[in-house]
Amino acid sequence: MKLIIGLGNPEPRYDGTRHNVGFWLLDQYARRRELAFQPKAKFKASVAEFDAAGDKVIIAKPTTYYNLSGEAVRALADFYKVPVGDILVVHDEIALPCGTIRTRRGGSDAGNNGVRSVTEHLGNGTARLRIGTHNDLREQIDDADFVLSRFTADETARLTELLPTLTSIIDRFVDGTFDTTTHR
């Protein structure tokens, strides 16, 4: 069994913001697989699931708000008995230029409160798909305002171009060939 978590904030007013790039990617991934998210209060998340080569895969968007994402991840991991090594967390990375993709297993939270929450609840062994969101605006405003700012039209186009690469990374996680040293 695999668990894929996209970090973001649940209200529509956060759609299109840098902090919600994890939700955006899982929405695109679910659409490609013709899946629909269902709210699951006991998991504090909206959840969709599918089978891949006989294994169940759960994709989830926490409804706890970004900084408390670990609560939802822990509830899902405990209920489905998913080991930490079989969990992928998709999140924004303000230290990376917009459109940069990095993967890793474990490591520092680098000040990302959502990743910190997941680590506090599960430990430091999850796989991560980090999507760069940095631009020059970050130097002009504080981090909290920056992560809640919207992508520009050019940035949105760039992320859309990267969609095949991003979804293939998720597919590789699902099939067990996740590359933990991706730098694109």
Q: Which residues are designated catalytic?
A: 19
Judged by DSSP in three states, 130 sits in strand
Give me the torsion for CA of 136, 146, 97, 14, rounded to 10°.
-130
Tokens in use for 83? 């080991």
Strands 127-134 and 101-105: antiparallel
